Structures are given as structure tokens and as C-alpha cells.
């Protein structure tokens, strides 16, 4: 074996029929370190080459028999110029023979007489040139082999994004056909956003010479395919992109993820998956300053099924339980937020293991939704389960922990929901229990209140009282405000503070408010026909009512049906509504306003109403909140604000009603400040309809 550090000396074959020429050539070449073989004529030379190909040939043109040109031609049939380089030695330096020498495949030529001192150098030079061509060819062949062998697609790109060359991956039929890309530009073959990202990477690869990699997804044949592209600079203004289809890998990853994240029996998320989701939801809920409910479910009597009917049956039951839970617990029909714009919060359901399931409800305002879910779970499992030919009944004990009250991290909440679940079991199974007793009580109470309101509406327990609004210059009753009361069967007559919030939050305010409007219109219509109607009747509105479709039309229907002059109706709005800025809402109000209905802004001063907002809506009057009236003499601020409100209202041409006037001193102060219309206990409290009616009749009898 030859040592690469000391390669063997090159062999040269001298072919010449002239003995002296051969001798002199040998002499010159041996001095330059060549090993020299000789041949006297063309035939011998061809035999020698056949026998042992030399590293270089010095070939005389003029020989008897086969001449040098023919010898060269024959050698080139088998060997390339870089494999056996040939220097032709011509007797004449005419152009024709030089041309012919190159045509038949000579690497170089020399004319006789030979310049002996440079022969060795010339020979070495030709040898080196041939060697470098050979190396280049090897390199290219190797590269071509690599390109043929790798399964990736290969693209050559110019810095401006033009695709100069493209090759398909070896042995693959990719969804992409690279050769169709040749000559096009990246933005023409990739979607816009991806093209930009790709161009950035290309730019960086060429600028910095650093390998760039990006992963992307493209739709193909109605399926998403995933690719990984690596970009490497190949010259000043070019880069090579190796693009690999990694769809298979991604699919495998997904399979592994499913195995790691889902319970194989029920297809539900498993514990790890659930805990990760829960952590995320806790962060979100914290940001929103809302609440999260965690329900921990344990099946009652499952162990017995497993023990008596076997695990196979147990699995069937678990699967059926999972199925029913998934079906029954679709969040949209549970956590309804009538009138609210934000989408319903998500619901996360998982199997922790054994017969334990968990449910997380993020973005809640209170615990009610959790209790509704608990009740749903019970009804989902109420139907007996059919196993083989037997029917078995299964219940669930449910523990509920609330964020942030019962814990702020997933582990604590899970632990406390579990504890609550044990309390539920102790209490006789198939029921639910909250972690904190106070919350349990509160939730139960709230739920009962909502139920009672619903029943109260059905049973006609609600009534309206009426409070006069008085013009203090002549003590005339210019209007009345309808105020809601509830004749509760157990708790007696209730004021709105006892139930209006629950009605708002549950959405019950919508049917309740509809009833109020109807009753007020009916009453006002009756008074109108009796000829004792006050100039105006005011009704309080909740924002939710206004956001119901066709609200304005409904109001006009009522007014018409009860024969009430729409100019007598005042709708009292709250500041939140006015600030809302919803153009659809404004349009509704303007429509009603055009029909003659008045609008008053209730409880003015405690919110943040800006004059700009006021002007967008057809509001005709302000009601100064009773807290200001109440503070007139104790709080200099209140007096200042009240005076300012009055001045502003005068400026804008708005009427003002002062609410909650209880003393003559308050009345006098307000009159001094320019307010003449007032409402309050000083004149009359809210009165049942009959008493109000008597007052109205009296007023007619003895005009002020």
C-alpha cells in the first residue's frame, strides 16, 4: 500500500520512433522525478497502455505504422484526458497539426526541437492539471450521488428568492413537485406569510452564512403536510434549501401525545392533560378577575359492579358514563349569559383514573354554574345502565372547590374538591357539596331565590308601587315612577334590593321587566281613560331588557294595546347603558324617541356619564341620585356636585328630577339651586296603585 504522504513517482510513457529523441526525453524527465517507460511505435505504445496505464504520455506524431494522432484517438476511446494526459510532440509547428492534436484529445503539445530545460516543468504542469480535473470530477460525481440518495427535496435559490434549481427527493412522490418551481419566485409558490418568513431565512443564510431552519405546514390533497426546511449559503448570492416532508414524524408525535395525554378507555383527557389545562385556565381566570369551579366526581357503587360483574363490565360502564357526561355537559346550554356578549366559558372534562372524573369551569362570575353542572351530572347518570342483561344504577358524589376562595393552584383545588367529594359521600351519596360550607349555603340560597323569582312571576306575586314626582313650585304631581315590589309568600313585601341583583344575574330580569312594563302601561292606560292620569309614568329598565331583539317594537305594541299616549311614557336608563356606546342600541332609543317616548337617566352622578355620551342619545332628563341629596348638608362636595349638575343640565336643556328628597331643608336648597321637580318621602313614599289613584283624584279635586 502506498503512503499518501509520499506518493509513488509518476510514470510517464515516451512514444517515439527516434532513439535519440527517446534518450534525451528520458534524461530530462527522470531528472524531474518521473519513472520512464518507452515505446518505439504506435502499436507497442497501445499494448503498453493496455497493460499498465501510465500517469502521462509523451507522444510523437510522426511515426511509421500507426501515427501519434491515431494512437491518441484510440486511447481516448477508453481513457479520459484527465485519466491519461497526453502531450503530443510534433515535428512541425503548423497550425493544422496543432489543431488536429487537440481534436484527437491531446492535453498539450510541444514542437520539435524540444526545449529540454522546460520539458520536466511542462510535464509536471499537465499532470497537475489532469489531477485537479479528476478531483473535480470525483467531487461532482459524489455530490450527484448524494443528491440522488437523499430523500429530501433540494432547491437552489438566489438571494432575491428566485428558484434556480429544484430536485425531488430520492424515491419519493411528494405532494410538492419541485421541478414546477424552477424559475419562479418564493412569493409565487408559498402563501404570503410563509413566503415572508422563508425570504427572511434565505436572507439571513446568505448574509450571515449561518444555517437557517424553519418548519411549516402546507395544505395538500385536502390534508395538512408538514415540512422542515434548512437553508445554507452556497455562494455569494445563492443558498441551497433542503426541504424534508416531516408529516409522518408529526403524525407519530401526535399519536404519542394522544397516548400521553388521553385516557385510552374513554378517550377523555387524562390527569396530566387536565392539570396542564387547569393551570392555564387558572392564569386566565386570574387575569379576568373571575372565578373557576373545580368539580370532583366519584361514582357511587362502581366498586360493587367491578367486584361482582367483573372488570370488563366495569369498563363498559365507565365508557357509558363518559359518553353521557360528554353529551350532557355541553357548556353552551349550561352557562347561559343572556344578553352578555362574551362567549360561554369552556368546560374541561377529564378522567383522573378509576371511577373519578373532574370538571373545570373557568371564567365564572359565581358558583351557580358549578351547581348547575352538578345537577346535570346527576340527571345524566339518573337513567339506569344496561349491562349484559342486568340494569344497574349508578350515582355520583361531587365535591366542588372554587378559585380563588378554596385555593389558587391546581393541586390545592384538586385536593379540596376531593375533600368536598368525601363530605358529599358522607351525606348519603349522590349529592354535591362545596368545599366551604358558607359557599354551599350561599349557593343554595341563591339558587332558591332564582327559583322563587321564577315561581313568583308565574304566580303573580309581583306588584308595582307608584311614587309621585312633584313640581315644587305648585305641588302638582307631574309624574309617577313605577317601582317593583314582591309579595313574597314567606318573607312579606320585598323591595328590589332583596331580589333585583339575582334577577339581573340570572337573566330573569328580562321576563320580570317585561311584566313591569306591561303592568305599568296597563295602569297608566286605565288612569288615562279615567281622566286622572299624571302627565308621565316612569318605568325602570335593565340593560338586558334593552338588548333583547325587537325591544322597541315590543314597547310600542304595549303602548298601543293599552291605549296609552306614548308621550306619557318615560323609560329610566342606567348610566352603564348610556356609556355602552353601541350604535344599535342608540338606534333603538332614537326610534322610540321619535315615537314620542321620553328617556331619563337614573341615579345620575354616581357613575361616569360624560356629556358627550349623553348627547348621542335622546335623553330628556336627569335624575340626581339620592345619595347627593342626602349629603347636601354634611358633605360640601355633594352640594357642589349637585349645583354643577343643575347648571350643566340647564345648559344642555335637560330637565332634572332630584331623587330621595326627605326634608324641607333639602327641598329649599334644591329650589335655590334651580331644581323644581323632585321625588321623595317628603312628598310621598312609593304607594300601592289604589292609594296612588286616590292621591291623583284628590289632586284633581283641590287644584293647587
Which residues are near ligand C2E by CB under 6 A?
A: 467, 483-484, 495-497, 500, 513, 516, 540-542, 572, 602-603, 626, 659-662, 679-681, 686
Per rule CB under 5 A, is residue 572 in the interface with Mg ion? yes
The DSSP result for 18-34, as a single string, is -HHHHHHHHHHHHHTT-
Q: Please, which residue, 399 or 468, has the CB nearer to Mg ion? A: 468
Q: Please, which residue, 2 or 497, has the CB nearer to ligand C2E? A: 497
Separation of alpha carbons 601 and 614, rounded Å: 9
Separation of alpha carbons 540 and 74, rounded Å: 113
**Cell numbers found for residue 412:** 390545592
CA distances from 375 to 20, 73, 382, 427 (A): 118, 99, 10, 16
Residues 512-571 that bind Mg ion (CB under 5 A): 540
Separation of alpha carbons 23 and 424, rounded Å: 115
Torsion (CA) 429, 435, 441, 447 in degrees, nearest 10:
-80
**Cell numbers found for residue 478:** 307631574
Q: Which does 660 bind (CB under 5 to 8 A by kind): Mg ion, ligand C2E, none?
A: ligand C2E
Min separation Cβ 540 and Mg ion, Å: 4
Alpha helices, DSSP H, located in 461-607? 500-506, 509-530, 543-546, 551-561, 575-580, 583-594
- Pick the binder of Mg ion from 355, 602, 638, 666 (CB under 5 A): 602
Per rule CB under 5 A, is residue 174 in the interface with Mg ion? no
Helix (H) or strand (E) holding 156: strand 153-158
Q: Which does 484 bind (CB under 5 to 8 A by kind): ligand C2E, Mg ion, none?
A: ligand C2E
Q: Residue 236 in 3-state DSSP? A: coil
Min separation Cβ 447 and ligand C2E, Å: 21
Q: Please, which residue, 335 or 539, has the CB nearer to ligand C2E? A: 539
Helix (H) or strand (E) holding 701: helix 689-701
Separation of alpha carbons 616 and 605, rounded Å: 18
Helix (H) or strand (E) holding 166: strand 163-167
Per rule CB under 5 A, is residue 60 in the interface with Mg ion? no
Q: Please, which residue, 324 or 667, has the CB nearer to ligand C2E? A: 667
**Cell numbers found for residue 289:** 378577575
Separation of alpha carbons 623 and 467, rounded Å: 14
**Binding span for Mg ion by CB under 5 A among 254-262, 423-431, 467-475, 658-666:** 658-666
Helix (H) or strand (E) holding 440: helix 437-459
Count of chain residues binding Mg ion (CB under 5 A): 5
Q: Please, which residue, 110 or 512, has the CB nearer to ligand C2E? A: 512
Min separation Cβ 602 and Mg ion, Å: 4
Min separation Cβ 339 and ligand C2E, Å: 13
Min separation Cβ 584 and Mg ion, Å: 24
Q: Which does 219 bind (CB under 5 to 8 A by kind): Mg ion, ligand C2E, none?
A: none
Per rule CB under 5 A, is residue 397 in the interface with Mg ion? no
Q: Please, which residue, 416 or 598, has the CB nearer to ligand C2E? A: 598
Q: Which does 662 bind (CB under 5 to 8 A by kind): Mg ion, ligand C2E, none?
A: ligand C2E
- Pick the binder of Mg ion from 245, 452, 603, 666 (CB under 5 A): 603
Q: Please, which residue, 91 or 543, has the CB nearer to ligand C2E? A: 543
Q: Please, which residue, 59 or 516, has the CB nearer to ligand C2E? A: 516
Q: Residue 589 in 3-state DSSP? A: helix
Min separation Cβ 537 and ligand C2E, Å: 12
Q: Please, which residue, 108 or 471, has the CB nearer to ligand C2E? A: 471
Q: Which does 410 bind (CB under 5 to 8 A by kind): ligand C2E, Mg ion, none?
A: none
Min separation Cβ 544 and ligand C2E, Å: 9
Separation of alpha carbons 411 and 279, rounded Å: 9
Q: Which does 516 bind (CB under 5 to 8 A by kind): ligand C2E, Mg ion, none?
A: ligand C2E
Contact of 466 with 533, CB cutoff 8 Å: no
Min separation Cβ 641 and ligand C2E, Å: 17
* Residue 94, Cβ density class (10 Å: 0-12 exposed, 13-18 middle, ≥19 buried): exposed
Q: List residues near Mg ion by CB under 5 A.
A: 540, 572, 602-603, 659
Amino acid at each position: 500500500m502506498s503512503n499518501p504522504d509520499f506518493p509513488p513517482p509518476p510514470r510517464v510513457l515516451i512514444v517515439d520512433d527516434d532513439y535519440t529523441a527517446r534518450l534525451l526525453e528520458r534524461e530530462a524527465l527522470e531528472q524531474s522525478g518521473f519513472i520512464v517507460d518507452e515505446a518505439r511505435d504506435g502499436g507497442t505504445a497501445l499494448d503498453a497502455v493496455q497493460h499498465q496505464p501510465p500517469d502521462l504520455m509523451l507522444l510523437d506524431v510522426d511515426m511509421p505504422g500507426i501515427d501519434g494522432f491515431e494512437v491518441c484517438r484510440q486511447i481516448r476511446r477508453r481513457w479520459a484526458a484527465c485519466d491519461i494526459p497526453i502531450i503530443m510532440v510534433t515535428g512541425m509547428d503548423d497550425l493544422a497539426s496543432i489543431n488536429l492534436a487537440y481534436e484527437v484529445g491531446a492535453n498539450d503539445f510541444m514542437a520539435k526541437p524540444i526545449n529540454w530545460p522546460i520539458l520536466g516543468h511542462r510535464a509536471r504542469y499537465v499532470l497537475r492539471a489532469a489531477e485537479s480535473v479528476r478531483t473535480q470530477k470525483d467531487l461532482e460525481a459524489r455530490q450527484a450521488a448524494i443528491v440522488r440518495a437523499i430523500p429530501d427535496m433540494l432547491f437552489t435559490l438566489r438571494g432575491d428568492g428566485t428558484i434556480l434549481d429544484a430536485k425531488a427527493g430520492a424515491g419519493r412522490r411528494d405532494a410538492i413537485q419541485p421541478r414546477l418551481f424552477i424559475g419562479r419566485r418564493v412569493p409565487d409558490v408559498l402563501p404570503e406569510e410563509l413566503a415572508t418568513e422563508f425570504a427572511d431565512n434565505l436572507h439571513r443564510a446568505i448574509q450571515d452564512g449561518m444555517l437557517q431552519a424553519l418548519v411549516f405546514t402546507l395544505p395538500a390533497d385536502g390534508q395538512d403536510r408538514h415540512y422542515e426546511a434548512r437553508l445554507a449559503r452556497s455562494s455569494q448570492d445563492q443558498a441551497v434549501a433542503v426541504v424534508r416532508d416531516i408529516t409522518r414524524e408529526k403524525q407519530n408525535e401526535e399519536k404519542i401525545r394522544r397516548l400521553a395525554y388521553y385516557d385510552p378507555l374513554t378517550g377523555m383527557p387524562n390527569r396530566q392533560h387536565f392539570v396542564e389545562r387547569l393551570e392555564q385556565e387558572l392564569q386566565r381566570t386570574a387575569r379576568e378577575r373571575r372565578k373557576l369551579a373545580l368539580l370532583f366526581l366519584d361514582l357511587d357503587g362502581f366498586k360493587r359492579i367491578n367486584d361482582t360483574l367483573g372488570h370488563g363490565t366495569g369498563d363498559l360502564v365507565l365508557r357509558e358514563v363518559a359518553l353521557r357526561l360528554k353529551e350532557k355537559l355541553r357548556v353552551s346550554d349550561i352557562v347561559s349569559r343572556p344578553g352578555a356578549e362574551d362567549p360561554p366559558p369552556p368546560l374541561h372534562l377529564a378522567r383522573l383514573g378509576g371511577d373519578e372524573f373532574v370538571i373545570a369551569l373557568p371564567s365564572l362570575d359565581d358558583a351557580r354554574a358549578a351547581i348547575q353542572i352538578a345537577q346535570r351530572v346527576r340527571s345524566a347518570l339518573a337513567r339506569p345502565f344496561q349491562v349484559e342483561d342486568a340494569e344497574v344504577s349508578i350515582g355520583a358524589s361531587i365535591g366542588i372547590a372554587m378559585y380563588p376562595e378554596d385555593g389558587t393552584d391546581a393541586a390545592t383545588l384538586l385536593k379540596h374538591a376531593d375533600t368536598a367529594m368525601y363530605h358529599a359521600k358522607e351525606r348519603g351519596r349522590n349529592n354535591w357539596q362545596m368545599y366551604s360550607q358558607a359557599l354551599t349555603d350561599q349557593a343554595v340560597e341563591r339558587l332558591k331565590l332564582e327559583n322563587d323569582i321564577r315561581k313568583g312571576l308565574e304566580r303573580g306575586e309581583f306588584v308595582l308601587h307608584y311614587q309621585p314626582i312633584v313640581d315644587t313650585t305648585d305641588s302638582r304631581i307631574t309624574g309617577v315612577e313605577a317601582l317593583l315590589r314582591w309579595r313574597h309568600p314567606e318573607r312579606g313585601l320585598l323591595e328590589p334590593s332583596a331580589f333585583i341583583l339575582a334577577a339581573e344575574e340570572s337573566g330573569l330580569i328580562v321576563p320580570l321587566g317585561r311584566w313591569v312594563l306591561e303592568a305599568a302601561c296597563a295602569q297608566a292606560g286605565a288612569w288615562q281613560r279615567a281622566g286622572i292620569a299624571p302627565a308621565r309614568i316612569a318605568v325602570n329598565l335593565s340593560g338586558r331588557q334593552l338588548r333583547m331583539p325587537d325591544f322597541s317594537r315590543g314597547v310600542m305594541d304595549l303602548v298601543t294595546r293599552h291605549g296609552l299616549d306614548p308621550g306619557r311614557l318615560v323609560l329610566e336608563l342606567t348610566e352603564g347603558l348610556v356609556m355602552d356606546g353601541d350604535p344599535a342600541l342608540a338606534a333603538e332609543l332614537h326610534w322610540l324617541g321619535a315615537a314620542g317616548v321620553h328617556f331619563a337617566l337614573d341615579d345620575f352622578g354616581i357613575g361616569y356619564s360624560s356629556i358627550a355620551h349623553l348627547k348621542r342619545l335622546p335623553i330628556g332628563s336627569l335624575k340626581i341620585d339620592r345619595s347627593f341629596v342626602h349629603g347636601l348638608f354634611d358633605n360640601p362636595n355633594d352640594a357642589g356636585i349637585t349645583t354643577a349638575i343643575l347648571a350643566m343640565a340647564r345648559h344642555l336643556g335637560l330637565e332634572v328630577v332630584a331623587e330621595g328628597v326627605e326634608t324641607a331643608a333639602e327641598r329649599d336648597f334644591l329650589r335655590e339651586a334651580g331644581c323644581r321637580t323632585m321625588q321623595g318621602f317628603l312628598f310621598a313614599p312609593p304607594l300601592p296603585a289604589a292609594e296612588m289613584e286616590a292621591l291623583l283624584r284628590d289632586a284633581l279635586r283641590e287644584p293647587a
